[in-house]
Structure 1
Amino acid sequence: MLGKLKAKSALVVAAAGMAVVVGAGTASANPNASYIGYGYTTYGSGVWCVQHLINYMTNHPGYTPMLPGAVTLGEDNSFGPATQGMVELLQRSYNAQPGVAQLSVDGVVGPATGNVILNWAHQDPYQPYCQGYIPSS
């Protein structure tokens, strides 16, 4: 009897552990993350994530849409003119696709632009980390 109870307990603990591991890998939106750009958050992890994921898109054109005219951003956690320009380039590139809801070309990363960044850079290893810092819906 005691052996069967231990076996059942071990099975329950193993199943619970699997649920935690499986749940940890799922993507999730963060509608509560601060907007990123002038007039909003201009420094910190969210800015780094935007810079890093845009660089990923620029350097991995086989996996993500091309950003014609893109430059590699310094991943310095600071939102400046180069980062704003690349966000605007991404917004224009997205808007050039047929049949998509248009993004505002304002250089600000809100939920709509955040969704595009997270989706286009979905293969980057830092994308799951960045889900917590980039606004998305």
Structure 2
Amino acid sequence: MMKKFVTRLGLTAGVAALALGGVSGTAQAAQGVGYVGPGYANNPHAVWCVQHLMNDLSRQYGQPTVDEDGVWGPKTLAAVKTFQNRFYATSYNGADGIVGPTTGEYLLTYGDQYYGAGNYCFWYLPSPDATFMPVASTHLD
């Protein structure tokens, strides 16, 4: 009887430790997430995430938005470049319109948190393997 109790207690403690470890660590991007932009595969979910998170930020600043259709096109490219120029691009690291780790990090951090941060779009946008805090960059990705 005691052996059965100890076994259940150990199993319960192990499950609890895994659950706590899964939610208490730093939020990191999913491994192997590809860039989004011209010349890339552009998963429709990833493009939608770019469009949605950018639109959320654009609304906050009273800027125009793009259709959230999951299709990479000239309007989405222009919106990404505008976003990059607005938030972190300089003359040294001009906007390239590609959503790599730096742009992905900004979108996930500052865009709609229901989809950003460690939620749905976390699985589709690249970001550094650190945390969802802004990172200094000397070049765009």
- TM-score category, normalised to shorter length: 0.7 to 0.9
Map of 1:84-99 to 2, 5 A cutoff?
A: 84-95=77-88
Equivalent in the alignment of 2:51: 51
Percent identical across equivalent pairs? Answer: 34
SS at match of 1:14: helix
Residue in structure 2 matching 1:6, options 1, 4, 7? 4
- Equivalent pairs counted in the alignment come to 123
Supply the RMSD in Å over aligned alpha carbons.
2.5
Distance 1:17 1:52, change over 3 A: farther
1:14 Cα deviation after fit: 2.5
State TM-score, norm by structure 1: 0.73
1:13 Cα deviation after fit: 2.5
For residues 40 and 93 of structure 1, what CA distance do their matches in structure 2 show?
A: 23
1:106 Cα deviation after fit: 1.0
Residue in structure 2 matching 1:21, options 7, 19, 22? 19
State TM-score, norm by structure 2: 0.71
1:108 Cα deviation after fit: 0.6
1:109 Cα deviation after fit: 0.3
Q: Deviations over 1:29-71 (max 9, x none)?
A: 2452111011113341111111111122234x3xxxx4x5x22
Distance 1:22 1:125, change over 3 A: farther
Equivalent in the alignment of 2:121: 130
The answer on whether the counterparts of 1:103 and 1:112 sit within 8 Å (CA) in structure 2 is no
What letter matches 2:46 in structure 1? G
The answer on whether the counterparts of 1:31 and 1:136 sit within 8 Å (CA) in structure 2 is no
Q: Deviations over 1:89-125 (max 9, x none)?
A: 21111127xxx9x75401110111111111212x611
Gaps of 5+ in 1: none
For residues 20 and 56 of structure 1, what CA distance do their matches in structure 2 show?
A: 33
Q: 4+ runs of 1 displaced by more than 4 Å? A: none
Q: Is residue 35 of structure 2 the alignment partner of residue 35 of structure 1?
A: yes
Distance 1:81 1:10, change over 3 A: same
Distance 1:58 1:22, change over 3 A: farther
